[in-house]
A and B are shown apart, each in its own frame.
Chain A
Amino acid sequence: MTNLINRAKELLENGTVKVVIGYEAGPTGLARPAFITDPAKAGKLIYDDRCVQNLAVYLTKAEVKNLGKMAIVSTLPVMRSIMMLISEHQVMGDNIVVLGISTEKELLDIADIGVMKGYIEKCDLRNPEKDRETLAMLNALTPAERFAWWQKEMEKCIKCYACRQACPMCYCIRCTVEVNQPQWIPVQANPHGSTEWHILRAMHLAGRCISCGECGRACPVGIPCHLLTMQLADQVNNYFHVHAGTSDNMTSVLSTYEPNDKESFII
């Protein structure tokens, strides 16, 4: 932690960056995103188990970008998000300083995107373990049971779009769900509208989801919607042998193809 604070302070003091995006402790004991612009306040930064939000979501937020060049405290999911954002031309790799945090909570020396790539390659890129268990449980059910299971979750949805807003990859200014000519998704937060919304969201994240689980964590009513995108992340790897967010030059899975892509259901 002292390493992180010192590094953040140094970056701000020597003017390398204008803002450090990290975590601070909130009044109720939760950790939350913090934006440090004054080196004297770098001491507020923390990093521990409570730091769960995917900070990469702020790399595309207008008011944060306005602060100037950014340094960002980055765990593996944040690094992978950054890779995707660079691949999709939403941020410039040269414009951000990555303050990498290892799984052992040590500050990593990430000099540039190339080093970050090397680090990511050495990591376990599968879905988090407890989500793997839930996914396995669901995949063992019959389709009808899965339908019932998901419908129970969909009934809770209030369409607050916290799942979308918390996702670093959902940076579109106008989401398809807000397009009304034609009205693709029913506006109502009823079972039908909510189901189609979650299908749409998962499909639009296929091959782009880096399995951070932020969408499910953000949901105020506790819908585990991260399982949808994680299942697709598994399948993307299964069919196309790709893990999202492993390089700064990812090709989009759903807008590229290999002539010999394998499937077994098209007659």
Chain B
Amino acid sequence: MSENIYKPYLMEIVNIVEETPDVRTFRLKFKNNEEAEKFSFKAGQFGEYSVFGEGESTFCVASSPTRKGYIECTFRKAGRVTNSLANLEIGDTVGFRGPYGNTFPIEEWEGKNLLYIAGGIALPPMRCVIWNTIDLREKYKDITIVYGARTVSDLVYKDELKEWEDRPDIKLITTVDPGGQTPEWRGEIGFVPMVLEKVAPSSDNTVAILCGPPVMIKFTMPVLKKLGFKDKDIYTTLENRMKCGFGKCGRCNVGKVFVCKDGPVFSYEQILELPEEY
């Protein structure tokens, strides 16, 4: 008999990073070695993480497929499942189903400049592809990351931001909303779209990957257009409420497109064809 598609892998939490007061990153290892060996995923895919007794929640895999042997996820305490996840400790078991969905076309991007733009808790779904391309650094030209959050304490992956900042082959611009800075803050102050306009990266031979809250997307798109980016060269990852992850439960569709099967990665060209239902 074939497998139960609703049955998650059992994963052990091997590390927990407290990114912000309400955001955690878990490093998860397969409890079963056989499953670990068979498992593979690509940048952009997501999974269903579960606390047994509380339910499942959907997030992107936040670690890079180039880093083998574990997966990572970053989540904000928001609902029933994420609140219970946040109460777990190292050594505890969580369930994971996946990977689901499509991937960032990083092979197509080879030889191009990459511009990553993220806001707040939207860096985790991009972290996977960022590390993936950094780990294959020689295949890509300039890598620029623009990342903003409301306040300094809302910035996630603080250690990695430091690492990217120190690397000569990556250009990192961090910003916080006006009023969100601390006396020690040395990054930009201002909303992501304004900062992007100021930095004005070239759109020549460049792919932009954009992810953030709807309001940020709304104001960043005109800036990208002004900079000369074409719709097909802008990528984002959508999220909609999901239960199953494989196009059956009927929640995530945007028109006839299933975010769980056809997404979560879409080019802006594709997004323009979707009805406004996301």
Contact = CB atoms under 8 A, between A and B. Distances in A.
Q: Does a CB–CB distance below 8 Å link A and B in the complex?
A: yes
Nearest to A179: B80
A260 interface: no
Interface residues of B, number: 3
Contacts of A180: 79-80
A183 B79 CA distance: 12
Interface in B79-120: 79-80, 83
Nearest to A183: B80
Contacts of A183: 80
A183 B83 CA distance: 14
A193 B130 CA distance: 46
A49 to B, nearest CB: 39
A181 interface: yes
Interface string A168-208: 00000000000011010000000000000000000000000
Interface residues of A, number: 3
Contacts of B83: 181
A181 B80 CA distance: 6
A193 to B, nearest CB: 16
A175 B80 CA distance: 16
Nearest to B55: A180
Nearest to A182: B80
A212 to B, nearest CB: 33
A53 B80 CA distance: 37
A180 B80 CA distance: 7
Contacts of B79: 180-181
A1 to B, nearest CB: 42
A176 to B, nearest CB: 15
A114 to B, nearest CB: 46
A174 to B, nearest CB: 13
Interface in B52-91: 79-80, 83
A28 B83 CA distance: 50
B155 to A, nearest CB: 28
A195 B83 CA distance: 29
Nearest to A180: B80
A225 to B, nearest CB: 27
Nearest to A187: B55
B27 to A, nearest CB: 26
Nearest to B83: A181
A181 B79 CA distance: 8
Contacts of A181: 79-80, 83
A183 B55 CA distance: 11
A181 B55 CA distance: 12
A181 B87 CA distance: 14
A177 to B, nearest CB: 15
Nearest to B84: A181
A181 B81 CA distance: 10
B58 to A, nearest CB: 16
A160 to B, nearest CB: 16
A116 B83 CA distance: 50
B63 to A, nearest CB: 29
Interface string B139-171: 000000000000000000000000000000000
A142 to B, nearest CB: 38
A180 B79 CA distance: 9
B230 to A, nearest CB: 38
A137 B80 CA distance: 44
Interface of B: 79-80, 83
6 contacts: A180-B79, A180-B80, A181-B79, A181-B80, A181-B83, A183-B80
Closest 6 A/B residue pairs (Cβ): A180-B80, A181-B80, A181-B83, A181-B79, A180-B79, A183-B80
